Structure 1
């Protein structure tokens, strides 16, 4: 089943797949509130985060798995894939493939995303690039 479409989410996916952080101007409000520890509030902070993310994963591609629209809320489930060939959030390139999943919730007002919550599997991504050990430690690895 194909997820429904939403113009702001479509722009988000386009931004990720074309590596064009300037597209945030078209879907993120100036006073955007981001409820996570990685991206500060505001449109410019969002643009800077994605610029840095694309530096670490220059071949990043994203697939939308699910999209739910209810009132002023939009919820998406995404899979991000790429090769870690540049500095990523302060972690030097490892050359390793990365797969990260997210669940994002946005609040829409006046045709823009104004608020955002997300759940990311960053621990798994950091394990994939060797920045964190696998769960269970080396004795559980085959």
Structure 2
């Protein structure tokens, strides 16, 4: 049987395109499987010359990472630094020898990560990787992600919104809006009064209700007035904010006092997770005739 000329031309002309598409699909299958093994299954030895070109390059600043040994050493930091890892490829597509990968990385920072001691912080970041393949192996990668968000989640760079959270908390307190203060607290907040303060007997107060009943309600019941003065906020690393201020108060069963104080606040994702008070407890105790 003779094949019509036009059909023959179509078949022969389509063969290279079909072959190229098959190679793209093979590259994607190999690439996704390799990174699943490396990250999720923690098989760092999958970074080898079977899966990666011997001169594989990671484009990064300030200096590129070149070669299988350095590539492997780089990613070992993620496996050493994080536990409970999940690495999901949200989307992936390719054309020719190029692949684009949209990914998401979750983990808990429980080990040394590029020299950074473990913080116990959870990270959840997304990014995109541009990939070049060569002869069915990974030859080049370049990652794009929000490094600032990553550093904030690790606690190396504080969330710029922390200062606003604490500033608004003090505004609520000064206005007598205690519900407004409590709503800024994490459900598991750990609150500690200064050692020597009469309210420190309940340390640590866990949760907003404990803070309300063990500290705020008692301050209100035992004082004629209690005000905060000269509040100044200082941004710290590791998602902490330091407040320096003065307490101006008068006991119902005692005298007036005006003392220096400092509050160290710890935050996570816009919520206050920790509080530590520092204050002149001697003066406060001496002015309270009902101990």
Range class of TM-score, shorter chain: 0.7 to 0.9
Q: Indicate if the aligned counterparts of 2:131 and 2:141 stay in contact, CA closer than 8 A.
A: yes
Of the three residues 151, 160, 163, the one matched with 1:135 is: 160
CA positional deviation for 1:140: 2.2
* Residue 123 (structure 1) aligned with residue 179 (structure 2): no
TM-score by length of 2: 0.45
CA positional deviation for 1:66: 0.5
Question: Residues 88-119 of structure 1, C-alpha deviation per residue, up to 9 Å, x if partnerless?
Answer: 12211111111121201111111111111110
Match of 1:34 in 2: 58
* Residue 45 (structure 1) aligned with residue 70 (structure 2): yes
Matches within 5 A, 1:1-142: 5-25=28-48, 26-37=50-61, 40-136=65-161, 138-141=162-165
Q: Provide structure 2 residue ranges, at least 5 long, that are not aligned to the other structure.
A: 1-24, 166-269, 271-291
Q: Indicate if the aligned counterparts of 1:39 and 1:49 stay in contact, CA closer than 8 A.
A: no
| Paired residues, number | 138
SS at match of 1:7: helix
SS at match of 2:35: helix
Q: Provide structure 1 residue ranges, at least 5 long, that are not aligned to the other structure.
A: none
* Higher share of residues assigned helix: 2
Supply the RMSD in Å over aligned alpha carbons.
1.8
